[in-house]
Amino acid sequence: MTQRRGLLIILSSPSGAGKSTLARRLRDWDRDIVFSVSATTRPARPGETDGKDYHFVSEADFKQMVAAGDMLEHAHVFGNFYGSPRGPVQEAIDAGRDVLFDIDWQGAQQISNSVLGQHTLSIFLLPPSIAELRRRLESRGQDDAATIAKRMQKSWDEISHWGGYDFVLVNDDLDATEEKLKSILTATRLRRSQQPGLTDHVRKLQAEFEET
């Protein structure tokens, strides 16, 4: 049968819930999973490469893409626009490759309601407790106390939108959560919408049946 159609995998969580680690493990498990490269109107920073880190575009071009329906999701953050171009994602899923999105609940909602919404798999990661979430943020040693406080303040807003996702996992054990993610992905790849060759196969079976 025809190759399966890829998925738009949305992975969301409050900072410190293990999203980045699990996204990396998913890609190590299946190298055909690719990250979605966002478009932005902000200037490139030293060391950033166009098309790899971001698609750097002008504000006029960005707005034109939004108006034309060529942006799956977009947001205005600190004076700049960010979004997920539809073209590269469409090419990837048509070729049977899954595309991984690291976005918040607002972006997840936009993508789920987009023209590619039927091919979306959204997963939210919850921490086992707020105390553990704080401990993980502090143990990373990347942020000062003020930054951690801001992240903790924002975390509840993110957690409050857990009900808008297809699957919700409590990440109390990294290895166990990884296995659950793999099981979810393996099963969702077999959804009827992801198997474009099924219709032709059933027609073939029907023709064979009528010939007997």
Lowest-pLDDT choice from 77-81, 147-151, 160-164, 174-178? 147-151
Query: When comparing pLDDT for 181 and 136, which is higher?
Result: 181
Residue 53 is assigned to a structural domain of this protein: no
pLDDT given for residue 193 in this prediction: 92
Query: When comparing pLDDT for 98 and 137, which is higher?
Result: 98
Max Cα separation, the chain?
75
Residue 114 is assigned to a structural domain of this protein: yes
Q: Contact 165/112 with Cβ under 8 angstroms?
A: no
Residue 151 is assigned to a structural domain of this protein: yes
pLDDT at 80 over 90: yes
Q: Which range marks the domain in which residue 164 is found?
A: 8-36+96-211
Q: CA 32, 115, 34 angle in degrees (round to 5)?
A: 15
pLDDT given for residue 143 in this prediction: 81
pTM attached to this predicted model: 0.87
pLDDT band at 2 (very low <50, low <70, confident <90, very high): low
The mean per-residue pLDDT over the stretch 152-172 comes to: 94
Residue 65 is assigned to a structural domain of this protein: no
pLDDT given for residue 16 in this prediction: 85
pLDDT at 208 over 70: yes
Residue 50 is assigned to a structural domain of this protein: no
Q: Contact 19/34 with Cβ under 8 angstroms?
A: no
Mean pLDDT, the chain, as a whole number?
Answer: 93
pLDDT given for residue 147 in this prediction: 86
pLDDT band at 126 (very low <50, low <70, confident <90, very high): very high
Lowest-pLDDT choice from 65-69, 103-107, 186-190? 103-107
26-52 pLDDT, tens digit each? 999 999 999 999 999 999 999 999 999
Domain count, the chain: 1
> What's the CATH number where 169 sits?
3.40.50.300
Query: When comparing pLDDT for 147 and 113, which is higher?
Result: 113
182-193 pLDDT, tens digit each? 999 999 999 999
The first and second tokens of residue 93, run together, are 């899923």
The first and second tokens of residue 23, run together, are 């996204």
pLDDT band at 111 (very low <50, low <70, confident <90, very high): very high
How far, in Å, CA of 111 to CA of 66, rounded? 13
Residue 20 is assigned to a structural domain of this protein: yes
Residue 136 is assigned to a structural domain of this protein: yes
Residue 118 is assigned to a structural domain of this protein: yes
What dihedral angle (degrees, nearest 10) is formed by the CA atoms of 20, 90, 95, 27?
0
* Beta-bridge partners for 54: 50
